[in-house]
Structure 1
């Protein structure tokens, strides 16, 4: 299918306000303090689901260390951006977390302020905002999370091509790439692995359309619980969520597809006008402390400074599998995101 001029500079970066505004979560139940918490003893962080990686343990450890309540929040990256924009005149959140593709959109929207967390000085320059608005805190890799108990006798898929087999009809899911950073990263990974690039989405869109025809589903929120339950036997997500499910007793395998995959940096930043800025800064400092980085690593998130601890590396796929995971120009990935969203809605949609 010929799609000349798919990615046009004039469409670049609309700050997510059009496509994502309708996705904002109005649910504030997850951002209220615990019993007895005062307004000064809380930090609100957007996009920190307890089941995402090790975020539940990270925030609990921060509270234990500081006495500051740090509730988890169920938003995804797009919903966090939309909420921050809607609340810009009266901010609710103190800290934001998102996939790096949203970094420039957060900056363009003016919802972050400069802050360099203690311990983050060694983060590579290409994984931080030049003005200090955000810093990558860890990375993951796009992978298949496969519940081997619910494949109805089919083998564990090892490639993007495998997922189009009728044997996996109705079994595959991924997060909505118009809302969630990991969904957009999964779409990017498939596109690059199948011969596309950030200026040619044809291979990826053709693939996702075929995946839809084979019964694939999309979710707006983190869907790992559906993998454990067998509701989505094969989830295209991050490797670290798969390892966590395995450690929790689910019979799952993590697969980095044979054709290739993508590394995904995740970023954190201090919200502009943060109502509890000191607490927000303390939380960001904790993320980059030895304890914080160790806790993220225990959730199989790869640190951006230093190596994966040996005891963690021994419980993951071999290093050669990760050699198939590409790195890209993540700023450019963010710049072309709105173009991708428009094309995805027109040609795939759900």
Structure 2
């Protein structure tokens, strides 16, 4: 090597060594995706008000729990965000720790773990998120059973029930609406068999963009995603609470056991339940966990109360207990 080349190499090495490292995240939250529940706006507000960087994370509830279990001996995440059934599983499998955030006492008893290992931050109502333009002139379906008609062949999607919380919530909603119970999932199994015969689409990940693009014209999803599309996207979108009925489902956060940044994570969880944090959720068409009235400007964009009367609160502890039996049947008989 010539002296000139050696000198150039030294300069390059010194520049590399002096280059600033990428800024590390202040808090890691598993399953905080920007296109779901408008986590994008929430994490931006946390950065503004608390100064913490929290990267987007596109896992679903099941994937987040699987990752927490894989890292149990060397935790990476500080916070887990789950559908309540997966929050219960996370506690049972020892990857969460107790934390009762500010305003914890204002969260109704059914929306929090008595020990503080999970606490609801908001809820959504399960129904049909419809890209009306993508229906090609067909009517917007009004009922679960409408989806089995040949008109909607290849048009209906639902997230994979064994993997995603919203997938299992959809199964519970259909099952109860069609006469099943937490001990009898036969109506849901029969429905999904028939839906697969109508070429159902079954993604594993959040599929908001696929509905907006028209790739999935009808998706089992929550009201907050459908309203977001209706009021912010180009095109015509609708939300339907099926005529047979549906369910309301809470989403929860947990402080992970052995969280590397536990003190910062606690402040983030406090923020999610603060007045400002709860207001941000309402702006994203979510029902806050604390008993806060929706602003009139937001409520006016929801379906009428008469429609929401068809959506019931259920005992999610019982539904969580029955999830394995449903999943086993679903895998054996449907998928």
Contact kept, 8 Å, 1:103 with 1:334, in 2: the verdict is no
The Cα of 1:104 is off from its aligned counterpart by: 1.9
Aligned to 1:22: none
Does 2:40 match 1:53? no
Q: Deviations over 1:282-311 (max 9, x none)?
A: 110110011111111111110122222221
The Cα of 1:152 is off from its aligned counterpart by: 1.8
Contact kept, 8 Å, 1:137 with 1:268, in 2: the verdict is yes
Query: What RMSD, in angstroms, separates the aligned Cα atoms of the two structures?
Result: 1.2
Aligned to 2:286: 301
Alignment length (residue pairs): 314
Q: Deviations over 1:148-170 (max 9, x none)?
A: 11112210001001101100000
In 1, the alpha carbon distance for the partners of 2:296 and 2:104 equals 22
Aligned to 1:177: 161
Contact kept, 8 Å, 2:88 with 2:118, in 1: the verdict is no
Question: Relative to structure 2, which stretch is displaced further, 281-290 or 240-249?
Answer: 240-249
The correspondence for 2:248, drawn from 252, 259, 263, is 263
SS at match of 1:243: helix
SS at match of 1:232: coil
The correspondence for 1:76, drawn from 50, 60, 64, is 60
Query: Which structure 2 residue ranges, 5 or more long, are not aligned?
Result: 1-19
Query: Which structure 1 residue ranges, 5 or more long, are not aligned?
Result: 1-33
Contact kept, 8 Å, 1:54 with 1:298, in 2: the verdict is no
SS at match of 1:218: coil
In 1, the alpha carbon distance for the partners of 2:262 and 2:173 equals 36
Question: Relative to structure 2, which stretch is displaced further, 54-63 or 305-314?
Answer: 305-314
In 1, the alpha carbon distance for the partners of 2:249 and 2:271 equals 21
Does 2:195 match 1:204? no
- Bigger proportion of residues as helix: 2
Contact kept, 8 Å, 2:111 with 2:119, in 1: the verdict is yes
Q: How does 1:15-54 map to 2 (within 5 A)?
A: 36-38=22-24, 42-54=26-38
Does 2:303 match 1:317? yes
Q: How does 1:147-186 map to 2 (within 5 A)?
A: 147-186=131-170
SS at match of 2:122: strand
Flag the 1:132–1:163 CA change in 2: closer, same or farther, 3 A.
same
SS at match of 2:105: coil
Which protein has the larger Cα radius of gyration, Structure 1 or Structure 2?
2
- What TM-score does the superposition give when structure 2 sets the normalisation length? 0.92
In 1, the alpha carbon distance for the partners of 2:179 and 2:96 equals 35
In 2, the alpha carbon distance for the partners of 1:309 and 1:119 equals 20
Does 2:46 match 1:62? yes
Does 2:259 match 1:277? no
